[in-house]
Structure 1
């Protein structure tokens, strides 16, 4: 008559064995597993006859396990309807909460145990209660896409606009997870389509961010505002672009969304797509007429942003679409300058392969090599030199790359430049040389650093490496050029397709054909209440 014997009997539904052990003096409140007593184990396995026996013998119906679950919350979670019914009949507290603040109704709703939901509601379960995260039973149905349970709750008139701890309503949550049918149900019952979350997102924006096109179409068919903006000034189109959802972007463009609308930072959907590495979205938006040279508040274009954030595939897509490789930001830096400053080797390689000017100068006459040296990006320094960058190019003060690196204390960059043959004695306009700067910065160590770098550069291994690097640079350029050609082919295909579709739309409109893919009708096509959105 051990604990394990009682546990096994409650799991198996062995009523005679349970009765025999109880008659033999087994403590009815002994925890069997995870602090769960016999009544909780019986409920989890839907043995209503054992539950009744245990109750007759004085079992605590509100006993809790290690997660503060009672027999009722456990039975509801696992869909054990017979157990739920007998527990309620025997007086279990219907609104009892576990350690997450969740009730039996919430668990049944989230698991789609529709008949249990209906039974609990009939017996007075409070559907307005929320758990520790602020989620109600209706929100559970949205999060878990349980339309049957949602319908049962909505039939009882549950609150629609309750917001959880993140400021999300049931409709927001349905939009977030793509629960189209739950979204349809709450809309049928009057949910506010323009309700805002704490981050000021509407359900439509949320669906666009998550890529749930069916929910997007449903909301648009019901009249959701396709042109509202969030707290950052991003439109639904911009949000779709940010996360790379081309089909959703098409829907908004067909409704007439401005492809060049800017957010609070002056960024267009194209810029956002480029900065978040969605090259296919970049190609698509470019084919639909997005302005390739539009600049944000920092005077950076989509190409500049792609370079800044190391999005080399977007760099190629923009170059293929015809973006200006020599565009300038507010301090006259080109995308190659920007990528060099950030140490983005792949973006530097892509820009060089696309034909960017390796000797372009910013407002201080710095070249990309000077910029890379300033920030100590040795891999970029090597790549630029492998592609023919001028080692002795100087800024407006006559300062060369090696002197810049020395001034900044970027010793590895200094060593790399010395090994490639940098002149340490070239004076700037003040007559100071890189040697002077190194001695000021490092004292006696300067001599050793220079000597060591020069010794390494003279070794056969390094000389052989230079030959390999030169060959690799040529090969990398060839690969980048091939990738550029492929991107151009994709760009041309997108433009051709866009042109054909636009012409088809005009012809259909002229002929009076219904169903032309434009306007609100397009967004709602196939989305009425009798179809899946």
Structure 2
């Protein structure tokens, strides 16, 4: 059964009456054990609004002090999260049989840490809450406090026995959390307490954690600390995917973080990840032409190519970064703007197939463009645009093309994901079957059925491709 009214409104009215003296004797409720639509008893609302008298009335009527709603939350969570110490104490004292090591106490501590309720944090710790429990989405209270830059809470946790070296399921520590989104003060506190600058299970370092969110102030603090302790001899060490901190910063388009890394004087610009991409390849797909120019000024190779033979122009065209294309064209060192990849596809092919009108127009203005160029499957940029019903691109290309291919125009539904065919670059549709290779590109090679049926295969044609009936993370 569910309430036909708002539990919160009802209890607020009741609390008002109690405060005004209208309700003195215990109130007899009808269906007091009924839950609302979220599986919450009236006790949750009293915990949220902080009315101890209402909570006591409800408990005297026989309601459990520790029920759980559909999400596993209890009134204790509500009281702790909203900072009502008197209710936290009431719920714990009402049921003295509760195990001090119960997960409820630990999760309540995590919730309270998130809201920085230090008095309640200390109270829960005194009542037996474990500061090293990983029940809060795989993070300890210290990790949560570090993540949100709660300096005083971090100090309290460390004082009460919180361990900085505990790792979550991905190998991240409190220092990893602080580097990603915390504060320089928290980082310094953790380092002063012996926190080690280590990588996670994927080889992702605290430096990469900092630049992934463009926390360049945190990055500076970590670099300074490492310079003194020399705990990590190579701050640009790649992770298991071949990504250096510069790769991560570049892929996010984080200019300040890239500047901070470049200022170390030890950055190697031509390190490639497992896909054969350098930092310049990564930034070419981001909307930040200033960062492209910065890397070029520092010596990045404009002619770099990935495992598919695709250069920075291909990446910019595939994501419609026409401002990046203009910035790249200012470099006089670029050898072949329209260079095809290993499948014979040019930047014009991918821009046309994905319907990027402005990038198509920018490429067409560059000397040497060949609108009739065919990939190894006989497809031109125009035939791709017609096939995928990119009518504005078709109109533009027709004025530059000598012939108009007779290709069946079929309706195209725009992709609903960020997953693309590694051959043609077109996004896969939700629920669409596709071919996958467990060997190429670190088991991250997918191909649409269109490309497969015209003869496309993996980077090594001997690799067996598996037809996947669904793409589960779309």
Does 2:369 align with 1:391?
yes
Bigger relative contact order, structure 1 or 2, given CA contacts below 8 A and separation 6+?
Answer: 1
Q: Which residue in the other structure is 1:42 paired with?
A: 14
Q: Which residue in the other structure is 2:396 paired with?
A: 416
Q: Secondary structure at the match of 1:150?
A: helix
C-alpha separation in 2, matches of 1:90 and 1:336: 71
Report how far residue 271 of structure 1 moved: 1.0
Does 2:290 align with 1:333?
no
Q: Which residue in the other structure is 1:381 paired with?
A: 360
Deviations 1:417-464 (A, max 9, x none): 4413x4x3xxxxxxxxx57xx25x469xxxxxxxxxxxxxxxxxxxxx
Q: Is the 8 A contact 2:146 2:182 kept in 1?
A: no
Which has a greater percent of helix? 1
Does 2:237 align with 1:261?
yes
Q: Is the 8 A contact 2:165 2:195 kept in 1?
A: yes
Q: Rg bigger for which structure?
A: 1
C-alpha separation in 1, matches of 2:140 and 2:151: 15
Q: Secondary structure at the match of 1:136?
A: helix
Report how far residue 252 of structure 1 moved: 1.6
Stretches of structure 1 lacking an aligned partner (at least 5 in a row): 1-30, 425-433, 444-533
C-alpha separation in 1, matches of 2:24 and 2:63: 12
Q: Choose from 51, 54, 58 the match for 2:26.
A: 54
Q: Which residue in the other structure is 1:472 paired with?
A: none
Moved more, 361-370 or 275-284: 361-370
Q: Choose from 208, 212, 216 the match for 1:238.
A: 208
Deviations 1:225-278 (A, max 9, x none): 212x22432111111111100011112211224331111111111111111111
Q: Which residue in the other structure is 1:205 paired with?
A: 176
Q: Which residue in the other structure is 2:125 paired with?
A: 154
C-alpha separation in 1, matches of 2:320 and 2:11: 64
C-alpha separation in 1, matches of 2:247 and 2:303: 16
C-alpha separation in 1, matches of 2:10 and 2:81: 26
Q: Is the 8 A contact 1:172 1:202 kept in 2?
A: yes
Report how far residue 165 of structure 1 moved: 6.4
Q: Is the 8 A contact 2:372 2:380 kept in 1?
A: no
Q: Which residue in the other structure is 1:114 paired with?
A: 85
Report how far residue 69 of structure 1 moved: 4.9
Report how far residue 345 of structure 1 moved: 1.9
Alignment of 1:333-482 (within 5 A): 333-355=310-332, 357=334, 359-360=336-337, 361=339, 368-369=347-348, 372=351, 377-386=356-365, 388-392=366-370, 404-406=380-382, 408=384, 410=386, 415-420=395-400, 422=401, 424=402, 438-439=405-406, 441=407
Q: Which residue in the other structure is 1:296 paired with?
A: 273
Stretches of structure 2 lacking an aligned partner (at least 5 in a row): 227-231, 410-474
Report how far residue 70 of structure 1 moved: 4.9
C-alpha separation in 2, matches of 1:98 and 1:393: 62
The verdict on how the C-alpha distance between 1:294 and 1:100 changes in structure 2, with shifts beyond 3 A counting, is closer
Q: Which residue in the other structure is 1:510 paired with?
A: none
Q: Is the 8 A contact 1:205 1:236 kept in 2?
A: yes
C-alpha separation in 1, matches of 2:68 and 2:20: 21
C-alpha separation in 2, matches of 1:44 and 1:207: 43
Q: How large is the Cα RMSD of the aligned pairs?
A: 3.8
C-alpha separation in 2, matches of 1:233 and 1:202: 13
Q: Choose from 280, 285, 297 the match for 1:308.
A: 285
C-alpha separation in 1, matches of 2:379 and 2:21: 88
C-alpha separation in 1, matches of 2:213 and 2:8: 45
Deviations 1:93-133 (A, max 9, x none): 433445554333322221222344345444446465556xx
The verdict on how the C-alpha distance between 1:116 and 1:442 changes in structure 2, with shifts beyond 3 A counting, is closer
Q: Choose from 285, 288, 292 the match for 2:261.
A: 285
C-alpha separation in 1, matches of 2:17 and 2:220: 50
Q: Choose from 295, 301, 308 the match for 1:318.
A: 295
Deviations 1:471-498 (A, max 9, x none): xxxxxxxxxxxxxxxxxxxxxxxxxxxx
Report how far residue 281 of structure 1 moved: 1.2
The verdict on how the C-alpha distance between 1:394 and 1:149 changes in structure 2, with shifts beyond 3 A counting, is same
Deviations 1:39-78 (A, max 9, x none): 77424765395554134xx446954563555554433322
Deviations 1:370-403 (A, max 9, x none): 66457664432321232x32134987xx989x97
Count of matched residue positions in the alignment of Structure 1 and Structure 2: 390
Does 2:221 align with 1:251?
yes
C-alpha separation in 2, matches of 1:44 and 1:320: 68
Q: Is the 8 A contact 1:172 1:206 kept in 2?
A: yes
